[in-house]
């Protein structure tokens, strides 16, 4: 069970029966589900960290409004793995597992808060997002926006991430998209790191996926 005082508010744009189920299970959730149905209300001014969305209940103008919320985490709840016109950070396919939902929301909130920091320590490196540089001692490499997102994602997650998860998180691609985007970007980033820092072990490729191991 979770202490309500420590829970984050999650805006829920979902079907009534779904919100009712969350209310019944509230004691087991690590977040406060806040129903939202009135799109005449200013959605930008509400106090919440993540939006839980069922895209099939939205009208086009509502989808456009949600896509404008760039600084809010978004989790889609869907009955299929078909692509959506909503930009999102995470996607959960029904039937819903409460433990998985708790974990996804916790990770997304942590990731969003992590991203807001302009300078981040990644092992012995400093990732400066304002200058777009990865620094170590007196050396640095220039990194692109996507490379910054990759470094943040791989360092923040506690487990190796497969290609489809990275595609979804960084590029908002469908999980079943057939593309070499991830491999290409990581290959180029690794080459820059090896050339400047002589470090071949910052980004590791395991059987489960890519990761940056935490210092023990």
**pLDDT, tens only, 122-155:** 999 999 988 899 999 989 999 999 999 999 889 8
**Going by CATH, does the domain composed of 117-211 fall within 1.10.10.10?**
yes
Residue 1 pLDDT: 56
Distance of CA 131 to the CA centre of its chain: 22
What CATH number does the domain located at 4-114 have? 3.40.50.2300
Q: Spell out the domain ranges in the chain.
A: 4-114, 117-211
Give the E-state strand segments of the chain in sequence order.
8-13, 31-35, 50-53, 73-78, 90-93, 119-122, 125-128, 133-136, 139-142, 204-205, 210-211
Q: What is the pTM of this model?
A: 0.55
Per CATH, 4-114 and 117-211 having the same topology is answered no
């Amino acid at each position: 069970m979770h202490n309500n005082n420590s829970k984050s508010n999650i805006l829920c744009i979902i079907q009534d029966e779904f919100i009712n189920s969350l209310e019944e299970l509230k004691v087991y959730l690590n977040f406060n589900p806040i129903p939202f149905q009135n799109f005449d209300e200013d959605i930008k001014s509400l106090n919440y960290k993540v939006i839980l969305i069922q895209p099939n209940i939205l009208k086009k103008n509502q989808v456009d409004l949600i896509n404008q919320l760039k600084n809010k985490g978004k989790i889609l709840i869907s009955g299929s793995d078909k692509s959506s016109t909503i930009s999102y950070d995470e996607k959960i396919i029904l039937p819903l597992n409460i433990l998985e939902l708790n974990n996804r929301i916790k990770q997304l909130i942590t990731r969003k808060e992590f991203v807001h920091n302009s300078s981040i320590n990644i092992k012995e490196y400093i990732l400066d997002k304002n200058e777009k540089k990865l620094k170590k001692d007196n050396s640095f490499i220039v990194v692109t926006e996507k490379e910054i997102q990759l470094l943040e994602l791989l360092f923040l997650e506690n487990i190796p991430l497969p290609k489809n998860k990275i595609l979804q998180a960084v590029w908002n691609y469908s999980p079943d998209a057939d593309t070499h985007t991830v491999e290409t970007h990581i290959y180029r980033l690794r080459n820059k790191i090896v050339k400047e820092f002589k470090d071949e072990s910052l980004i590791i490729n395991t059987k489960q996926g890519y990761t940056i191991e935490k210092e023990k």
